Amino acid sequence: MTEATSMAVATSALAERGRRHLGPLPLLVVTAALCLFLGLTRENFFSASNLYSLVYGVSIECLAVFAFTYVMVLREIDLSVGAVYALAGVMSGYLLLEGVPMWGAITIALAAAALVGLINGLLVVRLRVNSLMLTIGTMLLVRGLVGVMTTTLRGNTFPRPFRALSREQLFGVNVSIVAMVVLAIAAILFQQRSVLFRHMCYIGENLRSAVIYGVRADRIKVMAFVASSFMAGVAGIYTASRITHADANMGLGMEFTMITAAVLGGASLYGGRGNAAASMLGLFLIAVLINGMAMYDIEPVFQQFVIGALLITTVAADTILKRRG
């Protein structure tokens, strides 16, 4: 336990210190070192099945963290991702059992997810409300709907074609892994090449001057919120297909894993920077950490503690860096 925690603390601090100049390299080194450590001390860590299930699990969350990071770049936050993730998953299952054809159900569920994002985005840009409080509200609202639908479903298993979705393979691996790689490459290209990303950084750095210089901040923000909810919805449907039944606790606390991962990957709560590909790496670090704790037979109750500590440490490092820079 102490090993894992102190390691996490040391690693994240290290990752933060060098980041300004080295980009996500320290995070990569730390993740690799942790993997190596686990691989050397536990024989089954490097087994193909363990690694594959690790990557597979992370790849689904990566879909959601992609757009989530860009919301953070804009100096907003979307705490409703976990609830929307559950909503899309449970809702598509609900519609399927109501007899809606599969692709229809998926489309409706994704539209519902995007609608939540649209509401978040419009309220944030029109009424200038604090996105933190607002998305806590939408989170509770959506969670309630998820609860109602799960109670109606009573643990029914979803139909076979829907369950088969998550077993779909491409190039010999699950589709979500391919999607993760594609998204990571797209993120890197987007961050290096596109004007839109630079505008997003301006908005996060200084909204007022960005608006004065003609950046369409409102439109970009609404788009980012919609994208964040939509991607969470995609991940949720995929997960629902994977776990084969409706679970009210799906995605509980996911928003905080996302924040931790994004900050590990170089995003800041104060906006203006972020790297979706590195956020995915951050998710890997968290997943490896949890995996390692399981391998060392550490009580699962400690996981909460470690994630809490990791969250505080990364954000503390982010804050101190920000003050110095």
Partner 1 sequence: MQLGSMPLLKRWRLEQEAITFAVVLLLVILLAWGSPAFLDSNNLDSLQTSMAPNMIIAIGMMVLFIVGLFDLSVGAVMGLSGIITALVLSAGYGMGAAIACGLGVGIGIGLINGLLVAVFGINHLIATLGVMYMTRGVIEVLLLGAPLAGFTSFPLAFTMLGNGSIVGVYWMFLFALALVVVGEFVLRRTVLGRRLYFTGGNHDAARLIGIDTKRMQIGALVFSGFMAALAGVLVTARIGMANRYLGIGLEMNIIIACLVGGGSIAGGKGSAIGAMLGVAFISLITNAFNLFEVPSEWQSSVIGAVLVVVVAIDGILLLRKQRVSWQTILGWRSPRRNSATLPAE
Q: Which residues bind partner 1 (CB under 8 A)?
A: 123, 126-130, 132-134, 136-145, 147-148, 150-151, 207-208, 211-212, 217-218, 256, 259, 269, 299, 301-302, 304-305, 307-309, 311-312, 315-316, 319-320, 323
d(CA 235, CA 307) in angstroms, rounded, equals: 21
Block residue for tokens 């609202």: 141
State the nearest-atom distance from the C-beta of 29 to partner 1, in Å: 24
d(CA 223, CA 106) in angstroms, rounded, equals: 21
Distances from the Cα of 261 to the Cα of 49, 210, 220, 276, 299, angstroms: 24, 27, 23, 10, 22
Residue placing its CB nearer to partner 1 in the complex, 239 or 314: 314
Residue placing its CB nearer to partner 1 in the complex, 51 or 141: 141
State the nearest-atom distance from the C-beta of 216 to partner 1, in Å: 8
Residue placing its CB nearer to partner 1 in the complex, 35 or 74: 74
Pairing of strands 169-170, 173-174: antiparallel
Residue placing its CB nearer to partner 1 in the complex, 14 or 145: 145
Distances from the Cα of 265 to the Cα of 61, 82, 100, 136, 149, angstroms: 14, 19, 40, 23, 35
The C-alpha angle 108, 159, 48, rounded to 5 degrees, equals: 100
- Residue 72's beta-bridge partner residues? none
State the nearest-atom distance from the C-beta of 207 to partner 1, in Å: 5
State the nearest-atom distance from the C-beta of 226 to partner 1, in Å: 16
Copy the structure tokens of residue 247. 């679970």
Residue placing its CB nearer to partner 1 in the complex, 48 or 212: 212
State the nearest-atom distance from the C-beta of 284 to partner 1, in Å: 20
Backbone dihedral angles phi then psi of residue 170, each to the nearest 5 degrees = -140, 130
Residue placing its CB nearer to partner 1 in the complex, 63 or 307: 307
d(CA 318, CA 21) in angstroms, rounded, equals: 14
d(CA 157, CA 183) in angstroms, rounded, equals: 30
